[in-house]
Amino acid sequence: MNISVLIDLIKAKYKSKLIIQPHDFPDYDALASSFGLKKYLEKFEIDSLIYFDGFVSQFISDEFLKYLNIPYNNKKYFNRLKEYTAVLTVDTIPENTNITKIEEKKYVGFIDHHVTNPKNQNYDFEIFEKSAAVASLIVELYKNSPEVEMKENIANSLAIGLLTDTNSLSRGVEKKDLLNYYYLFNKIDNEYVNYIVRNKISVKDLDYYLEAIRSLEIFEEIGLIVIDKVPNRNIVGIIGDFFISLKELSVIIMVNRLEKGTYISIRSETDTFKASSLVTYIIKDIGQGGGHSYMAAGFTEKELKYEFFRGIIKDIKKNFNN
């Protein structure tokens, strides 16, 4: 869908004001894409602000958001949303469980690359395209609008989003994503981008790694890890990336048992067990999730026991191998 549809809609019905909302506990791709979109819309006199629920790590806050001058709002600044009615979600769709909807606001559309996620209704504006990262879709907006300048801080953020979501262009990448990164390459500060991409965890996160190592149980090519109350969902995915690098494993199922519910993150390197299919199978009728063949996540409000996952892995091996 052409971006002009969104611009015309926001100007005509919503006083040129828009809330851009990435998923809760946003990662680099969600934040970068939201920022890139905000700066793009400024050219067309759209007043937008970025709002998300949850939090980001201190490193992301200091070294990414503040350094690149990326403005954002969370519950602490909820009052700033008062004059804004329309909401566009980024890196998710409005009906997904990984986003806390804002009451009394109108969700007019979304930009998302998780094309396997179920969409149960149509919106006024939709960009729902397969790509390695949402950042890649935002880059295409700039490429198709030469009158919109992409400054270095925008290019830096989008490059970081693209690199982190693809594990440095090694996961889920297609030709257009490589071309989009090439478009960014001469616009970015490579030293800074590489610094951010390399520094994903802090010393205090090592306790989660230790807990995960102790928890690891292997069912042939499938690894299961159950940990408790990790507040940052992004760390769960990063730990999953570490374990999927083990040559004995083709699939890693990360389970984060929270005070209210269970968060599941899956990494897969085999078409036999696609991550998006697995997460849907695991939480069918009890939750919601989605993603890609190589990376997916889901959430259920139910407190799932360790024995549940042992049993579900046996079912998976039986049903998915046939």
- Read off the pLDDT of residues 256-286 as tens digits, 9 standing for 90 and up: 999 889 999 999 999 999 998 999 899 888 9
Domain CATH for 292: 3.10.310.40
| Amino acid 322: pLDDT | 57
Please indicate, yes or no, whether residues 57 and 85 belong to a single structural domain of this protein.
yes
Please indicate, yes or no, whether residues 187 and 290 belong to a single structural domain of this protein.
no
* Run of H or E including 48: strand 47-50
Please indicate, yes or no, whether residues 148 and 262 belong to a single structural domain of this protein.
no
Please indicate, yes or no, whether residues 165 and 188 belong to a single structural domain of this protein.
yes
Please indicate, yes or no, whether residues 90 and 76 belong to a single structural domain of this protein.
yes
Please indicate, yes or no, whether residues 128 and 36 belong to a single structural domain of this protein.
yes
Last residue of a domain, one of 169, 198, 227: 198
Please indicate, yes or no, whether residues 9 and 151 belong to a single structural domain of this protein.
yes
Sequence letter at residue 49: L
Please indicate, yes or no, whether residues 194 and 208 belong to a single structural domain of this protein.
no
* Run of H or E including 281: helix 275-282
Into how many domains does the chain fold? 2
Q: What is the mean pLDDT of the chain?
A: 93
Sequence letter at residue 278: L
Domain CATH for 137: 3.90.1640.10
| Amino acid 116: pLDDT | 79
| Amino acid 25: pLDDT | 87
Last residue of a domain, one of 181, 198, 215: 198
Please indicate, yes or no, whether residues 260 and 150 belong to a single structural domain of this protein.
no
Spell out, as residue ranges, where the chain has pLDDT lower than 70. Answer: 321-322
Please indicate, yes or no, whether residues 55 and 174 belong to a single structural domain of this protein.
yes
Question: What's this model's pTM, rounded to 2 decimal places?
Answer: 0.85
**How many C-beta neighbours within 10 Å does residue 128 have?**
17
- Give me the domain span that covers residue 242: 204-320
Please indicate, yes or no, whether residues 238 and 193 belong to a single structural domain of this protein.
no
Give the pLDDT confidence of 13-61 residue by residue, as tens digits.
999 999 999 999 899 999 999 999 999 999 999 999 999 998 888 889 9
Please indicate, yes or no, whether residues 99 and 232 belong to a single structural domain of this protein.
no
Handedness of CA 157, 161, 167, 172 (dihedral sign): negative
DSSP string, 23-40: PSS--HHHHHHHHHHHHH
| Amino acid 119: pLDDT | 87
Phi, psi values for residue 314, rounded to 5°: -60, -40
